Amino acid sequence: MTMSSPSTPTETAARCRAIIEGVAPEVDCGRFPIKRVVGERVVVEADVFTDGHDAVRCVLLHRYQPPNTIANTIDSGAWTETEMAPLVNDRWSASFVVDQLGRYEYTLVAWTDRFATWRRELERRIDAADILIALQVGAGLLEAAARRASTADAVQLKQFANKLSAAPNAATGREAALDANLSALAARYAERGFATRYERQLAVIVDPPLARFGAWYEFFPRSTTVQPDQPAAARHGTFRDAEARLPYVAQMGFDIVYLPPIHPIGRARRKGQNNALLAGPHDTGSPWAIGAVEGGHRAIHPELGTLDDFQRLLLKARELRLEVAIDIAFQCAPDHPYVKQHPDWFRVRPDGTVQYAENPPKQYQDIYPFDFETEAWQPLCRELTDVVLYWAEQGVRVFRVDNPHTKPFFLWQQLIAEVKARYPASIFLSEAFTRPKVMHRLAKAGFTQSYTYFTWRNSQYELREYFTELSQDSGREYFRPNVWPNTPDILPEYLQHGGRAAFMTRVTLAATLAATYGIYGPAFELMEHRPREPGSEEYLDSEKYQLRQWDLQRADSLAPFIQRLNRIRREHPALQSDWRLQFLPIDNEQLIAYAKTTDDLQDIIVVIANLDPYHAHFGWVELPLATWDVDPERAYRMDDLLGGGSYLWQGTRNYVRLDPQGVTAHVFALRSSVRTEHQFDYFT
């Protein structure tokens, strides 16, 4: 058998001796970008080495890519160069700050540095005659560097070369050769003719800070009327009613108001209350059954108001420092205009009827999914992209996308890229409660944030394992979690049976474990807990199928508690990112303890929660004081930001007790003598 010879490298490639491997961060060999927000630092590491004993140098190249431009080659555009520093075991590191929305690119260049190698060897030489010969070699290297240098620097390099070649003795020449100014000057004009450039050009998508830290509040505009004395048919809320609800949401400290679909609702096969197959004359149907004679995905439900009313809502929200998120649900009611205009966008069953959505045994007779395997897939995808662009043109910058995992990945990759090229501040939240790899692929495809499994993680072990994965695994480079204790679709069993304590615990965990979280209200703060039937996660009298009246002034509302949580989040930078989450040992499985800190340790938050909504529990928690630069021999203060009061602790191990009849969690700010300069006004 004859074996083929490996391909022979070109002469240039063969002489590029530096090796670049193990670059991080890098997602799927550079196929997908990492994510950051404006002002964050990108730390890049790589294994860089060469054969033999020559000194190696490497630099990080990075540049901003303006929207709507594409770099066709790695040499296009202006690169900023940052010297990389050695760590251990041939690992190198450098960083850069992303200070503009949009896209950045980065790559690496490395080479063997002859002057640095020569200088390092000179330091070890002891024989005078040997040193004098080495000085002549060094002078030659400096003469070569002078030919690459600017005029002023060339003069200095030649002067140094003369000092080395004309040195009266080894000691004098050696001293001149080891001059720190000479090292810096020579490094500036190193020979890079055979430098190795990393074969990939990696990307960073830079989002607004709201993509990393924020609190979402979902409500149905149609249930915002404040006229409960009117008959059922007259209670449909409007955008004006929703506008009046905004100060309530802002006062609780939320950042984003999320509205379920605002489009006309189909009448054909409309669902009744509690998902009944037959709707009554006054039943409003599900907002996710989009489209009717009044229009489709670019239209507004006439009972909500007009486009002008919607834009007024956007303006009012921004006056209150709120962003409005709308729902993008790519599906149709049977009477959506698309069904008649583009029948080839839908799948037809053997009996000639259009295939409705189903997830056996669940059936959604009021919803037609698109068929992305149609021959007309290109105009279909173009239209769906234009739908999102239309709402972006109206001023929307935040989009919650319904069931994106039931549409092709390529659609989202193209759609999100096009929208963000025009509107770089856009945020896309993926509502995909599905398999982990599918959720991660959607994040890679461009989704800014992702729903998570938090809703079903209740035990200490489950929470520790899951949030360690979210905050520490490599997926954090592109997968940003957005955690919700409830949604209109999901009333977890924990909330059905745990009473007030369960709601307090879950919102505390959501607000402190993750930098971004959301609640479906007013169902959450009013502790709606009745399932449609035993074993179901569907709400009884679900707002998805009918109008609801909510008494926001109820004395037992959790709104003040949530307001305090959100104020704590805004006042404490440690709670505004995910990556510095650290779980703490505690000797009771019904308690969970964790900490979040800032990089400079000027803000240290410790959260301890009782996961049992029925019984009091106590335990001993261990704090890593040495890691936090806190003297364990001296007392330090733990201010309870949530429940009030302060505790003096000493040492690494301390006692806690939490009773669900009171506040179910401590949110402590650690105060020690070493950081008395960092004060917070907790309860203004």
How far is 646 from 669, CA to CA, in rounded Å? Answer: 9
Residue 271 token pair: 């669902």
Judge whether 533 and 606 are in contact, CB under 8 Å. Answer: no
Tokens of 221: 């505009």
Q: Phi first, then psi: what are they for 400, rounded to 5°? A: -100, 125
DSSP-H helix ranges across 264-320: 307-319
CA distances from 297 to 180, 288, 427 (A): 67, 11, 19
Question: Is 29:21 a contact under the CB 8 Å cutoff?
Answer: no
**Set 26, 402, 525, 578: catalytic member:** 402
Rounded Cα gap, residues 314 and 610, in angstroms: 39
CA neighbor of 386 nearest in space, from 408, 415, 409, 410: 415
Residue 129: name the closest of 160, 171, 163 by CA: 171
Residues 6+ apart with CB under 8 A from 633: 650, 651
- Nearest in space to 574 (alpha carbons), one of 646, 669, 479: 669
Instruction: From the candidates 26, 207, 323, 431, give the one annotated as an active-site residue.
Output: 431
Q: How distant is the alpha carbon of residue 413 from its chain centre?
A: 17
- DSSP secondary structure string for all residues of 242-276: HHHHHHHHHHTT-SEEEE---S-B--TT---GGG-
Is residue 489 among the annotated active site residues? Answer: no
CA distance 411 to 308: 30
Strand partners, 605: 596, 669
Instruction: Determine the Cα–Cα distance for residues 441 and 428; give it in Å rounded to an integer.
Output: 14
What the block records as the tokens of 494 is 């924990």
Residue 431 a catalytic site member: yes
Structure-block tokens of residue 89 = 């075991």
Query: Which residues are catalytic, by number?
Result: 402, 431
